[in-house]
Amino acid sequence: MIISKRARAISPSMTLAIDAKAKQMQADGIDVIGFGAGEPDFDTPDFIKQAAIKAINDGFTKYTPVAGTVELKKAVCQKLKEDNSLNYDISQIIISCGAKHSLFNAIFTLCDDGEEVLIPAPYWVSYEELVKMAGATPVIVNDLPEENGFKLTAQRLKEAITPKTKMLILNSPCNPTGAVYEKQELEALAEVIVEHKIFVISDEIYEKIIYDNKKHYSIAALHPEIADLTIVVNGVSKSYSMTGWRIGYAAGPKEIITAMSNVQSHATSNPTSIAQKAALAAISGQQDCITEMVAAFDSRRKYIVQRLNNIKGISCPMPHGAFYVFPNISNLCGKSFNGKPITDSFALTEFLLNEAKVAVVPGDAFGAKGYLRLSYATSDKNIENGLDRIENAVARLI
Ligand code: PMP
Ligand code: GLU
């Protein structure tokens, strides 16, 4: 066998695959509307681009320290203090090639073969595969009630912990559900985490994309005991529309961050020097760009939820964060089109792509049967047209 067991166990990223498929169909002249991509449709703000152009012109084009430049790590410390009430020293920060890379480093650094990592479902597609890549075992916590935003409770966490549990992956605001954990919910989880001495990765990449006056809390900020067990992951991709620049970061106990830096030193070395300058400008510059983007997402969110709820067979709760809706389509499963049954979310996704020319992501990719994920990080016009198409196509199911 040419391919290693470890690589064979990994599925491709469904979110990226669907986005690539929609883009390829568009390039082939097919009029597809993409709700697949989890990336803001706005351009990167100009002051951030200018910082990168200046970095190139200044010759800032060489290796930097593996874990990132001191100035960027200082800016991250400052941001974590101001926004999240987190106190870290620069030795507790690592800059990586995107939050995905930070997650990889953290999981790879902490997990040994056979150790279990708890992942509440629905979860972002990459968590499960990242855990497998590290040789650990993903343990999916299923059947969390939709009425409570599928949020993990202390009780369910307690029940899922075994002697092999190494850590929990928590994501608030959540991709794909948009759920936001309240402070009391995090306090209850932290109590169990501390009692059982497991670790938690807190993926806070959508912290700024939040609505309805909800407030984002970092679990690490609750008390020193939980901070010692938490690796906070964040980045600039979503907040500043910088997905292509590939800058993310992690903060946590010094011993863990140092080990993550050792791993990174052999895998990628530093993240791109130019992108680090751009991220520095983003984090330490004017934050108005975020307010404008979030206001646009907010109005799209309300529109898309209302349109989806008007389609018979679909029900869609209002998400409080991120830029996804996660409608329940279980009432459409069992229907058929031209004699072909719509058995599950994969079949519905295929039907919508072929018949409505609309790309969405099946809920099964996120560990949830009977749901779809639509990203509303696309133009108002696309959202309106796309919803018309979905409505018309669904009406043709019998
Ligand atoms: N976490 C979540 C929940 C995400 O949706 C994404 C989006 N790709 C990431 C992490 C990774 O972001 P990045 O582009 O910084 O790698
Ligand atoms: N996080 C985004 C998504 O869920 C981007 C694609 C990816 O990296 O998975 O669609």
Q: Is 175 in the pocket of ligand 2 (CB under 6 A)?
A: yes
Q: What is the model's pLDDT at position 19?
A: 84
**For residue 63, how far is its CA from the centre of ligand 1 (angstroms)?**
24
Q: How far apart are CA 144 and CA 133, in angstroms?
A: 26
pLDDT digit string, tens, across residues 50-106: 999 999 999 999 999 999 999 999 999 999 999 999 999 999 999 999 999 999 999
Q: What is the model's pLDDT at position 17?
A: 85
3-state helix, strand, coil in the chain (%, to 5): 45, 15, 40
Q: Is 171 in the pocket of ligand 2 (CB under 6 A)?
A: no
- Which residue, judged by its Cα, is nearest atom 5 of ligand 2? 38
Q: How far apart are CA 313 and CA 390, in angstroms?
A: 12
Q: Is 239 in the pocket of ligand 1 (CB under 6 A)?
A: no
For residue 42, the 8-state DSSP code is S
- Which residue, judged by its Cα, is nearest atom 9 of ligand 2? 15
Whose CA is closest to 66, among 266, 318, 219?
266
The Cα angle at residue 304 between residues 300 and 305, in degrees rounded to 5: 115
Task: For the domain made up of 60-284, give the CATH fold.
Answer: Aspartate Aminotransferase; domain 2 (3.40.640)
CA distances to 8, 29, 199, 286, 373 from 196, rounded to whole Å, are 33, 55, 9, 41, 34
**For residue 358, how far is its CA from the centre of ligand 2 (angstroms)?**
18
For residue 353, the 8-state DSSP code is I
Q: How far apart are CA 375 and CA 157, in angstroms?
A: 29
**For residue 99, how far is its CA from the centre of ligand 1 (angstroms)?**
5
Q: How far apart are CA 32 and CA 5, in angstroms?
A: 36
CB 394 within 8 Å of CB 311: yes
For residue 173, the 8-state DSSP code is S
Substitution site in 39, 209, 349 for ligand 2 pocket (most atoms within 8 Å of beta carbon): 39
CB 22 within 8 Å of CB 350: no
Residues of the chain with CATH 3.40.640.10: 60-284
Q: What is the model's pLDDT at position 255?
A: 98
Q: How many CA atoms lie within 13 A of 124 on its CB side?
A: 26
Report how far apart the first and last C-alpha atoms of the chain are (Å, whole number): 46
Q: Is 230 in the pocket of ligand 1 (CB under 6 A)?
A: no
What is the bridge-based pairing of β-strands 33-34 and 358-359?
A: parallel
Q: How far apart are CA 151 and CA 264, in angstroms?
A: 32
Is the four-CA dihedral 23, 24, 26, 30 of positive or negative sign?
negative
Residues of the chain with CATH 3.90.1150.10: 5-43+289-394
Give the predicted TM-score (pTM) of the model.
0.97
CB 94 within 8 Å of CB 264: yes
pLDDT digit string, tens, across residues 303-352: 999 999 999 999 999 999 999 999 999 999 999 999 999 999 999 999 99
Q: What is the model's pLDDT at position 21?
A: 85
Substitution site in 13, 16, 375 for ligand 2 pocket (most atoms within 8 Å of beta carbon): 16
- Return the ligand 2 atom nearest residue 37 CA: 10
Q: What is the model's pLDDT at position 261?
A: 98
**Tokens describing residue 97:** 């090639």
Low-confidence spans in the chain with pLDDT less than 70: none
Q: What is the model's pLDDT at position 22?
A: 87
Return the CATH number of the domain spanning residue range 5-43+289-394: 3.90.1150.10
**Other CB atoms within 10 A of residue 14 CB:** 20
